[in-house]
């Protein structure tokens, strides 16, 4: 099984500042046939289902603000929020759909400092 | 617009059974690989299984904690996904989500249905 490990587990950032969340997979999730990383990022607020932010490691879902960006390849990935807004308080998960069993990171709780 | 609506969550005793349903619309259901993901109270997300499209064999794949107890099926005529849960344990208590992971790995989620396992 591919293990997804996020860091940190929690993060407090001031409004307007940058927030960075890391995700490491235990093996490469880069498909050689199309050179795509099957890594997505989700945002989850209390009482709501996860919301897709990023797929293919760096492609922003339609309607997601451009302060959210994803980067990385193979085993190391990063979600960056360039200027934190109050509505960004949530838990963030990375997810691999490269192979089953699909797996998620343990989540990173983002709060306002 | 992709829409997924789960139903069937309930309170059930340990050892009991329950069937969840997911009504889908807004995408090519018959060609889609569909998953169930659960989230225990206050915990993270856990993928529990998927079913491939019939054109891709219609086979299922399960996570170890539920293999042999849970079964995923689909009805392409009604665009409905099912999760049959047997021999339920207290640790199966969670919100269960129906998820369509597209070809880019992007996930579309329902609102979830709550399963409580308690005597």
The DSSP annotation for A16-83 comes to TS-EEEEEEESS--EETTTTEE-EEEEEE-TTS--EEEEETTTEEPTT--TTEEEEEETTEEEEEESS
- B74-96 pLDDT per residue, tens: 999 999 999 999 999 999 999 99
Q: Shortest Cα distance from B114 to chain A (angstroms)?
A: 11
pLDDT (0 to 100) of residue A46: 95
The pLDDT score that the predictor gives to residue B102 is 87
Asked if pLDDT for residue B73 goes beyond 90, the answer is: yes
Report long-range pairs for B60-67 (Cβ below 8 Å, ≥24 apart).
B61/A100, B61/A101, B63/A101, B64/A101, B65/B91, B66/B92
Q: What is the pLDDT of residue B99?
A: 97
Q: Determine, for residues B105 and A106 on separate chains, whether the beta-carbon distance falls below 8 Å.
A: no
Q: Contacts from A31-35 at CB under 8 Å and sequence distance 24+?
A: A31/A98
Which of A63, A95, A102, A108 is the best mutation test for B, with the most CBs of B within 10 A? A102
pLDDT higher than 90, residue B103? no
What is the mean predicted confidence (pLDDT) over B52-67? 96
Q: What is the mean pLDDT of chain B?
A: 96
Query: Do the Cβ atoms of B112 and A36 come within 8 Å?
Result: no
- Residue A71, pLDDT > 90, answer yes
The residue-averaged pLDDT of A90-97 equals 98
Q: Which residues contact B23 (CB under 8 A, 6 or more apart)?
A: B4, B5, B7, B78, B79, B80
For A106, nearest residue in chain B (alpha carbons): B44
Interface membership of B107 toward A (CB under 8 Å): yes
Answer yes or no: is pLDDT of B105 > 90. Answer: no
CA A37 to each of CA A53, A59, A92, A102, B117: distance values in angstroms, whole numbers, following the listed order: 15, 10, 18, 14, 37
Residue A4 above 90 pLDDT? yes
A101 touches chain B (CB under 8 A): yes
Instruction: Write the CA distances from A77 to A29, A42, A70, B90, integer angstroms.
Output: 11, 13, 7, 35
Q: Note whether A10 contacts B: Cβ–Cβ < 8 A.
A: no
Q: pLDDT band for position A24 (50/70/90)?
A: very high
CB A41 within 8 A of CB A79: yes
Could you say which DSSP state residue A102 is in? P
Q: What is the DSSP letter of A111?
A: E
Chain B contact set for A50 (CB, 8 A)? 45, 97, 107, 109
Mean pLDDT along residues A69-96: 98
C-alpha dihedral over B59, B65, B70, B71, to 10 degrees?
A: 0
pLDDT tens, position by position, A45-65: 999 999 999 999 999 999 999
């Amino acid at each position: 099984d591919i293990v997804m490990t996020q860091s940190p587990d929690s993060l407090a950032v001031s409004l307007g500042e940058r927030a960075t969340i890391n995700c490491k997979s235990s093996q490469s999730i880069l498909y050689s046939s199309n050179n795509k990383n099957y890594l997505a990022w989700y945002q989850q607020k209390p009482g709501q289902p996860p919301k897709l932010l990023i797929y293919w490691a760096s492609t922003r879902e339609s309607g997601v603000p451009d302060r959210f960006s994803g980067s990385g390849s193979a085993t190391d990935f990063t979600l960056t929020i360039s200027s934190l807004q109050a509505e960004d308080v949530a838990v963030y998960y990375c997810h691999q759909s490269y192979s089953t069993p699909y797996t998620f990171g343990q989540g990173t709780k983002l709060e306002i400092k | 617009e992709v829409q997924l609506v789960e139903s069937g969550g309930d309170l059930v005793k340990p050892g009991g059974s329950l069937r969840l349903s997911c009504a889908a619309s807004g995408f090519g259901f018959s060609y889609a690989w569909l998953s169930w993901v659960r989230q225990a109270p206050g915990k993270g997300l856990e993928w529990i299984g998927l079913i491939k499209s019939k054109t891709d064999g219609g086979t299922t794949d399960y996570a170890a904690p539920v293999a042999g107890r849970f079964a995923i099926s689909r009805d392409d005529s009604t665009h409905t996904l099912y999760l049959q849960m047997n021999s339920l344990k207290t640790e199966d208590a969670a919100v269960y989500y129906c998820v369509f992971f597209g070809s880019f790995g992007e996930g579309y989620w329902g609102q979830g249905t709550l399963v409580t396992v308690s005597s």
